């Protein structure tokens, strides 16, 4: 079983004074990724199609979803110490290592390929100014230089972003000091308003999805719990203000046709047009720097947690006082250079956007669940109501489908595939997560919603199996599995002598049994109790095991031939009956019941019929459940009824055939004429070739021990036999005959 190491214990090697602050570590990379190429090259297109007021509405809707995600991030960040890995770290510590890895691996790849996307975008814009340059060569050189900057140190890379921020700020000032422009002379290929509101929103939305750039620097921050919420929310707020102001100038200074025909219309509007080019170049380079800084840190956390295959463990190494992921940066550079060499990443770009939005969605779900469950361990200083987080998750999902439904499905399949792969590796984190709390809440709610009285429509056996060690009585475990179909509950129980084992030894034995069941693919609980004798322990479990309405309704145990324990055995049957627990006594040797491998078809089950009332209905239900299980698939169920003479046979056959037809369980009616033969002879002669026999058991009353001893003697010649005693306050005939 693979077990991850807890990267939360791998502390940054530097002191707090060496960490990045809120402005440099979170706000700067976030705002520079938000104010990207869409602002420069597509904002005019947005205004040209939907006009000013709908543009402002699009900005508000898009930013609202990002704001809700930012609030969720702030709640998680102020509850836990956020180490390297940013969003991956938060998700894995909340929803579990499988979910964290399923989101973290695609998130890393998206960031790694984003480096290539941004450097190719930078190269394209540069080649437009210098047509003689090679776009691929420029992109390759730019990618290497960006990686070298990141390798030198995150601090230097962040300082480089200050100059880029200055260039973007100057370009915005130049735009706002601009002027009206003459209508375009270029051919207009699109008619204003030809693209709908939601389609335009889908184009604009990626412009507000840059908040991960700051979160991914979590391992390099001086105070992540303070910097992440303040820096992230500040970047969202500043970005919103800028995005609300720019459309006003675009709408005032250019007509819709010009906005649609000229992607770089801002260059004509601005007072100093060439500064807009600096802004475009700065936006692409800052996004590339943010990605080359963030991606290796996610990769480092994935490697340290054991998510990646063991041969990639070296990617978790850190260097220098800031524990910088140099090996991860080189690895990411290799991926980015390969992507740049391909040149055209337009086909995978939508899927990359989906990975970012999937991360946002899962972060919202994490915060929403943590807040809703109100676990004592979740104590964020930045409090957000769970409904806001889940609203953010819904918003992310809707926008994903609006942007590209096919890419959404592809991204979901990739995330699901990684999740299944990690589950099969049986990853275990050395930290708790929200899943147990979620299941506990669901179980609690379900228990209080369940009826306290048995319900015929939804009845199925919930078995308390007195199996002892399952390896010694596999036939009892197999029978329980066949009867429940992995739908009912199975509890395998064993009684240990008082004082035979310490509490730790008892826990170890329970774990051993659970491991055995897991290897056999059997879903069952294990319950061990101590008692002076086995029957006292069994009675203790029958009396006390369960919670609320969820208690075993059926007890399954093996037969006993020991004379000195027969009285106590029969007394325990009476105790189960009085406690309203159905009793199944399996009279068989282990070799008489099939092992875990399926049997061939056409085996035979004999049910000896005394009517639908009392035991008859339960026996038929159990036989039907066996017939529809894997081991007994399509076995023949013979419903045997004994009549005194030939005169009674015709009417009995007609009634039995009508009953079998109405029950729809595939039973074969068989009426047997006694002709003065004893029932024991009929039973032995008829069922000696069956594979399994069901017989009803009388209610425990006076002289029950003598009755049971006599029954054992009479059934000795039979193959594997199950004695059935229906004890629940339930008409089992109603389970079989559902009239509405």
Using DSSP, state whether 180 is helix, strand or coil. Answer: coil
Sequence-separated (6 or more) residues with CB below 8 Å from residue 252: 180
pLDDT at position 581, please? 92
DSSP 3-state of 636: strand
Domain assignment present for residue 505? The answer is: yes
Contact 288, 297 (CB under 8 A): no
How many Cβ atoms are within 10 Å of 653's Cβ, its own excluded? 15
In sequence order, the β-bridge partners of residue 178 are none
With bands split at pLDDT 50, 70 and 90, how would you rate the model's confidence at 4?
Answer: very low
- 511 plus 424 within the same structural domain: no
| Structural domain contains residue 455 | no
Residue 453 resides in a domain: no
Query: Does one domain contain both 45 and 159?
Result: yes
Decide if 112 contacts 295 (C-beta within 8 A). Answer: yes
Look at the block and give the residue holding tokens 């049994």.
513
Residues 320 and 275 in one domain: yes
Q: Which of 361-365, 536-540, 611-615 has the lowest mean pLDDT?
A: 611-615
46 close to 250: Cβ distance less than 8 angstroms? no
Residue 419 lies inside a defined structural domain of this protein: yes
Shared-domain flag, residues 416 and 512: no
Residue 395 contacts residue 70 (beta carbons within 8 Å) = no
**Which domain covers residue 174, as residue numbers?**
7-95+104-130+138-435
The reported pLDDT for the residue numbered 174 is 93
Q: Are residues 189 and 240 in the same domain?
A: yes
Note the pLDDT tens digit of each residue in 243-261.
Answer: 999 999 999 999 998 888 8
DSSP string, 4-60: ---GGGS--SS-GGGSB-HIIIIIHHHHHHHSSHHHHHTHHHHHHHHHHHHHHHHHH
Q: Are 256 and 47 in contact (CB under 8 A)?
A: yes
Residue 2 is assigned to a structural domain of this protein: no
Q: Is pLDDT of 12 > 50?
A: no
**Region 704-721 average pLDDT:** 91
User: CA-based angle 98:103:108, to the nearest 5?
Assistant: 125
CATH number of the domain where residue 490 is located: 3.40.50.12370
Q: Are 627 and 604 in contact (CB under 8 A)?
A: no
69-98 residue pLDDT tens: 999 888 888 876 666 677 777 777 777 777
Question: What does each C-alpha distance from 561 to 258, 688, 706, 712 come to in angstroms?
Answer: 97, 21, 13, 9
Place 115 in a pLDDT band, splitting at 50, 70 and 90. Answer: confident
- pLDDT (0 to 100) of residue 9: 31
Decide if pLDDT at 382 tops 50: yes
What are the tens digits of pLDDT across the range 25-49? 889 888 988 887 788 878 888 999 9
Same domain, 482 and 396: no
Greater model confidence, 333 or 156: 333
Q: Do 630 and 556 belong together in one domain?
A: yes
Q: With contact defined as beta carbons under 8 Å apart, do 143 and 247 qualify? A: no
Instruction: Check whether residue 607 and residue 700 sit in a common domain.
Output: yes
pTM for this one?
A: 0.68
What is the rounded average pLDDT of the residues 375-396?
Answer: 84
The span from the CA of 217 to the CA of 212, in Å, is 9
Ramachandran bin of 401, using left for φ above 0, alpha for ψ from -120 to 50, beta for the remaining angles: alpha
Q: Which pLDDT band holds residue 438 (cuts at 50, 70, 90)?
A: low
d(CA 184, CA 575): 93
Compute φ and ψ for 182, nearest 5 degrees. -70, 150
Report the CATH number that the domain containing residue 166 is assigned in CATH: 1.20.1740.10
Counting residues of the chain whose pLDDT is more than 70, the rounded percentage is 87
pLDDT of residue 233: 93
Q: Is residue 316 part of a domain?
A: yes
Least confident of 61-65, 102-106, 118-122, 612-616: 612-616
- Model pLDDT, residue 721: 92
Of the two residues 13 and 68, the one the predictor is more confident about is 68
pLDDT at position 426 is: 64
Higher pLDDT: 210 or 43? It is: 43
The pLDDT mean for the chain works out to 82
C-alpha span between 300 and 7 (Å, rounded): 10
Which residue(s) pair with 586 in the sheet? 558, 722
- Per DSSP bridges, beta strands 463-466 and 604-608 are unpaired
Residues 538 and 673 occupy one common structural domain:
yes
Task: Return d(Cα 97, Cα 25) in angstroms, integer.
Answer: 26
| pLDDT value for 348 | 59
Q: How far is the C-alpha of 250 from the C-alpha of 259, rounded, in Å?
A: 8
Convert the pLDDT of each residue in 335-374 to its tens digit. Answer: 999 888 875 555 556 667 788 888 888 888 888 888 887 7
Smallest CA-to-CA distance from 359 within 34, 102, 64, 74 is with 102
- Distant-in-sequence, close-in-space partners of 346: CB < 8 Å, separation ≥ 6: none
State how far the Cα of 188 lies from the Cα of 521, in Å rounded to an integer: 65
461 and 553 Cβ atoms separated by less than 8 Å: yes
User: Has residue 491 got a pLDDT over 80?
Assistant: yes
pLDDT category at 219 given cuts 50, 70, 90 is low
Q: Tens of pLDDT along 574-606?
A: 999 999 999 999 987 655 555 534 444 458 899
Nearest to 296 by CA among 188, 151, 197: 151
The pair of three-digit structure tokens given for residue 290, joined into one six-digit string: 């943010």
Give the rounded distance of the alpha carbon of 608 from its chain centre. Answer: 47
Neighbours of 377 (CB within 10 A): 11
* Planar angle of CA 24, 28, 34, nearest 5 degrees: 160
- Provide the pLDDT for residue 349: 63
In this prediction, residue 8 carries a pLDDT of 34
Residue 596's pLDDT is what?
A: 39
Per-residue pLDDT of 132-181, as tens digits, reads 888 889 999 999 999 998 887 666 777 777 888 899 999 999 999 988 88
Residues 629-642 have pLDDT tens digits of: 877 887 889 999 98
pLDDT class of 451 with cuts at 50, 70, 90: low
Domain assignment of residue 454, yes or no: no
Residue 484 and residue 552: Cα distance in Å, rounded?
12
Asked whether the CA dihedral 573, 574, 576, 580 is positive or negative, the reply is: positive
What does the DSSP 8-state code read for residue 460? -
- Taking residues 387-409, what's their average pLDDT? 89
Q: Mark whether 80 and 161 lie in a shared domain.
A: yes
Q: How crowded is residue 442: how many other Cβ atoms within 10 Å of its Cβ?
A: 10
Same domain, yes or no: 219 and 327: yes
| 89 and 154 housed in the same domain | yes
Q: What is the pLDDT of residue 549?
A: 78
Mean pLDDT over 3-30 rounds to 58
Write the DSSP assignment of 573-621 as a string of letters: HHHHHHTT-EEEEEE--GGGS--SSPPPS--EEEEE-S-STTHHHHHHH
d(CA 424, CA 421): 5
Residue 366 domain flag = yes
- The number of distinct structural domains making up the chain is 2
**Strand-strand pairing, 604-608 and 490-497:** unpaired
pLDDT tens track for 269-327: 999 888 998 888 888 888 888 888 888 888 888 888 888 888 888 888 888 777 788 89
């Amino acid at each position: 079983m693979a077990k991850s190491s807890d990267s939360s214990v791998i502390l940054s090697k530097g002191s707090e004074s060496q960490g990045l602050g809120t402005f440099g570590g979170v706000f700067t990379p976030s705002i520079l990724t938000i104010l990207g190429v869409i602002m420069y090259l597509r904002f005019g297109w947005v205004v040209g199609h939907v006009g000013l007021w709908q543009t402002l509405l699009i900005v508000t809707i898009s930013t609202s979803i990002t704001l809700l995600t930012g609030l969720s991030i702030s709640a998680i960040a102020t509850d836990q110490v956020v180490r390297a890995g940013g969003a991956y770290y938060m998700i894995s510590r909340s929803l579990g290592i499988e979910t964290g890895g399923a989101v973290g691996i695609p998130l890393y790849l998206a960031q790694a390929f984003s480096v290539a996307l941004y450097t190719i975008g930078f190269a394209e814009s540069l080649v437009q100014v210098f047509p003689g340059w090679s776009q691929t060569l420029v992109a390759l050189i730019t990618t290497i230089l960006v990686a070298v900057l990141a390798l030198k140190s995150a601090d230097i890379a962040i300082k480089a972003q200050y100059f880029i921020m200055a260039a973007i700020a100057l370009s915005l000032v130049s735009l706002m000091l601009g002027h009206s422009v003459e209508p375009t002379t270029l051919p207009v290929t699109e008619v204003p308003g030809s693209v709908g509101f939601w389609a335009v929103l889908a184009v604009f939305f990626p412009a507000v999805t840059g908040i991960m750039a700051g979160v991914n620097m979590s391992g390099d921050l001086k105070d992540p719990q303070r910097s992440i919420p303040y820096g992230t929310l500040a970047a969202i707020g500043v970005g919103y203000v800028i995005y609300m102001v720019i459309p006003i100038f675009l709408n005032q200074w250019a007509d819709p046709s010009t906005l649609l025909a000229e992607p770089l219309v801002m260059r004509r509007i601005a007072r100093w047009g060439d500064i807009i080019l600096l802004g475009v170049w700065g936006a692409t380079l800052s996004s590339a720097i943010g990605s080359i800084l963030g991606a290796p840190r996610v990769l480092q956390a994935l490697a340290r947690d054991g998510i990646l295959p063991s041969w990639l463990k070296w990617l978790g190494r850190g260097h220098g006082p800031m524990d910088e992921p140099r090996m991860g940066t080189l690895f990411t550079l290799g991926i980015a250079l390969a992507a740049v060499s391909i040149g055209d990443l337009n086909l995978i770009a939508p899927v990359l956007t989906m990975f970012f939005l999937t991360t946002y969605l899962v972060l919202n779900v994490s915060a929403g669940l943590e807040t809703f469950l109100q676990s004592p361990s979740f104590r964020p200083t930045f409090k957000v109501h769970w409904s806001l987080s889940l609203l953010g998750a819904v918003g992310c999902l809707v926008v994903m489908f609006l942007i590209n439904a096919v890419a959404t499905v592809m991204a979901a399949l990739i995330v699901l595939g990684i999740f299944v792969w990690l589950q099969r590796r049986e990853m275990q984190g050395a930290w708790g997560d929200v899943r147990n709390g979620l299941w506990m809440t669901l179980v609690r709610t379900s228990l209080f919603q369940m009826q306290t009285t048995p319900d015929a429509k939804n009845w199925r056996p919930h078995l308390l199996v007195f199996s002892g060690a399952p390896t010694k009585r596999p036939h009892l475990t197999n029978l329980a599995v066949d009867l429940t179909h992995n739908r009912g509950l199975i509890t395998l129980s064993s009684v240990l002598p008082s004082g035979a084992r310490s509490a730790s030894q008892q826990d170890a034995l329970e774990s051993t049994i659970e491991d055995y069941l897991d290897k056999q693919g059997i879903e069952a609980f294990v319950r061990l109790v101590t008692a002076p004798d086995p029957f006292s322990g069994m009675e203790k479990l029958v009396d006390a095991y369960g919670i609320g309405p969820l208690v075993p309704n059926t007890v399954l145990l093996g037969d006993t031939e020991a004379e000195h324990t027969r009285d106590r055995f029969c007394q325990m049957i009476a105790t189960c009956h009085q406690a309203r627990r159905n009793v199944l006594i399996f009279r068989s040797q282990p070799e008489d019941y099939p092992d875990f491998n399926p049997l061939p078809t056409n085996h035979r089950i004999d049910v000896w019929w005394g009517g639908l009332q009392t035991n008859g209905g339960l026996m038929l239900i159990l036989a039907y459940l066996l017939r529809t299980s894997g081991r007994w698939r399509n076995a023949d169920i013979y419903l045997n009824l004994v009549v005194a003479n030939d005169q009674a046979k015709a009417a009995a056959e007609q009634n039995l055939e009508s009953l079998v037809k109405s029950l729809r369980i595939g039973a074969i009616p068989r009426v047997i004429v006694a002709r003065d033969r004893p029932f024991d002879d009929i039973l032995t002669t008829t069922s000696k070739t069956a594979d399994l026999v069901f017989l009803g058991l009388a209610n425990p009353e006076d002289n029950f021990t003598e009755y049971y001893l006599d029954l054992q003697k009479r059934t000795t010649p039979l193959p594997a036999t199950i004695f059935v005693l229906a004890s629940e306050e339930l008409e089992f005939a109603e389970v079989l005959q559902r009239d509405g």
